[in-house]
Amino acid sequence: MRFEINRESERHLPDKDLQACGLFGVMNIEGKRFGGEMAIKAIVNMRARGNGLGGGYAVYGLYPEYKDYYAMHIMFQDRNMDAKKKVDEFLSRNFDIVYDEEIPTNPEARVMYPPLVWRYFVAPKKKGEDAKFSDDDYVVAKVMHINTSIEDAYVFSSGKDMGVFKGVGFPEDVAEFFMLDELYEGYMWTVHSRFPTNTPGWWGGAHPFSILDWTVVHNGEISSYGTNRRFLEMHGYYCTLFTDTEVMAYAVDLLMRRQGLPIEIVSKIFAAPMWDLIENMDEKKKKLYTTLRMVYAPLLINGPFTVIVAHHGEMFGITDRIRLRPITAGARGDLVFLSSEEAAIRAVSPKLDLAWTPRGGEPVVVRLKRKDHLMSLKESV
């Protein structure tokens, strides 16, 4: 049998998307601050994983001069000044604004339709009913208010001494737009390439997603989004960014900050072991994992994923329990890396003391002044 060849359409771009999201994180476990070069170089190495519709960075140890104040990064879509006015009023009513400015940007950068981006350093001004809230809870409530009630305004970063920078473009374009390699230093950087799942690329939808100092970069698709979102709404978290990863940021805030669970447990809630593996565990473990699966069933994260979650002093990488997305960890001296691909780590640190891949659902936990990342070596390859 012969196939007819359509001469007119001999060459065409495939309809299939070949990208897969690139993730990278690096921490100096001694807390020494460094610039954005490593994060940028690593994510550029994984260019094939992105598509130019999203890129973003989270930087920790970013604002030492304002480290006692919540640093709010707020974007105003379409440079909507009316939204800015509303936000200014709202913030002045509820916070003491210590300092605010437009985040310096480079107009030459190759990004699409940048919004107006502004940063505010604020301290909570709690009155009446609000006095019973902790500072953190108060800030979460106010962030939710801005995101849900003020059109065209999105708080995309709200932690202390840290910040998120994100937008539409390749990650190196976003870095150029915010001039990350020139202006900032931090002891921990995470970065993401590609764009939000199942939504058009837009500035608020780029990764990392954050609340307070919790940030998440994610590769994959959270098919349990609906269940997770409804559960989080019961705890006062409202999803407004049109994409799945947002639930992960709120879930870690709920479980780790508010309920005080350690990463090691939280990872077993997100990526719970299969029932048939629990069946073969010893009694104590069986009881623990059965309990976790029952109590936190609505926070089981289903579908393929790799995430790097970070907050001050801690960063952890984890995949779904059957590892449908990749992760590699590496260590060299005081630097510990997490990445979608080993090559990206080698691009910034050709020599490594260690390179390893944990079991699916098993976290690699990187902590300041500790060697906890070595715990994940046991079950790794």
Partner 1 sequence: MVSSLKFSLRDMFLEGVRPLEKILGYIEVKGEEAVIDASELKHKEVNDLLRYTALNKVKKVEVINVVGQRYIGTRLHIPNPSPRLEIHIKGTPGNDLGAFLDGHRIIVHGNAQDGVGNTMDDGEIVVHGRAGDVVAMSMRGGRIYIRDNVGYRTAIHMKEYVGKIPVLVIGGTAQDFFGEYMAGGRVILLGLSLKEGEKHKAHYIGTGMHGGVIYLRGRVEKYQLGKEVGIVDMEEEDWKFIEEQVRRYCTYFNRDMDKIMEGNFLKLVPVSKRPYGKIYAY
Q: Does 51 bind partner 1 (CB under 8 A)?
A: yes
Mask for 248-287, x = binds partner 1 (CB under 8 A): ----------------------------xx-xx-------
8 Å CB contact between 338 and 315: yes
Comparing CB distances to partner 1, the nearer of 98 and 324 is 324
Binding range to partner 1, per CB under 8 A, among 28-36, 229-237, 298-306, 343-351: 343-351
- Out of 106, 199, 227, 240, name the contact with partner 1 by CB under 8 A: 199
Q: Counting contacts by CB under 8 A, is residue 200 touching partner 1? A: yes
Is there binding between residue 48 and partner 1 (CB under 8 A)? yes
322 in contact with partner 1 (CB under 8 A): yes
**With binding defined as CB under 8 A, does residue 82 bind partner 1?**
no
Tell me if 141 contacts partner 1 by CB under 8 A.
no
Q: Of the candidates 19, 27, 18, 39, which has an alpha carbon nearest to the alpha carbon of residue 317?
A: 27
Q: What is the 3-state secondary structure (H, E, C) of 323-350?
A: CCCCCEEEEECCEEEEECCHHHHHHHCC
How would DSSP label each residue in 264-292? HHHHHHHTPPPHHHHTTS-HHHHHHHHHH
Which CB contacts under 8 angstroms, 24+ apart, belong to 231-234?
231/298, 231/299
Token pair listed for 269: 């809630």
User: Site for partner 1 (CB under 8 A): which residue of 45, 147, 210, 267?
Assistant: 45
Q: Check residue 90 for interaction with partner 1 (CB under 8 A).
A: no
Q: Is 27 helix (H, G, I), strand (E, B) or coil?
A: strand
Residues at the contact surface with partner 1, assessed by CB under 8 A:
13, 18-19, 45-48, 50-53, 77-78, 112-113, 151-152, 168, 170, 199-202, 205, 242, 276-277, 279-280, 322-323, 326, 328, 341-344, 346-347, 350, 355, 357, 359-360, 379, 381
